[in-house]
Structure 1
């Protein structure tokens, strides 16, 4: 489990996933993205950027 998956799982505890974490192979900027709402109703958009070569 990578860091972005751990953060997403933590924020979803008693919350919900608006957009589950997934990979974006075709995206020029994002390796993974997730959108979650935590138990307090705060929305989080998490982006794992692609590594620069």
Structure 2
């Protein structure tokens, strides 16, 4: 994840947000998550499992 890479390089959270053109709160939430969670979260939608329980017919 690019956010984690930029943070490891020493970028401040606000600078990361500006560089990636995303909200600063988004940067905070992504940095709070473990890398594994982020990788799973970023799986392309066609590869995600659909939760059919929440779908109403």
> Do both proteins adopt the same fold according to a TM-score greater than 0.5, normalized to the shorter chain?
no
Which TM-score applies when normalising by structure 1? 0.25
Which TM-score applies when normalising by structure 2? 0.24
More RCO (CA 8 Å, sep 6+): 1
Determine which structure has the larger helix proportion and give its number.
Answer: 2
Greater Rg by CA: 2
Determine which structure has the larger strand proportion and give its number.
Answer: 1
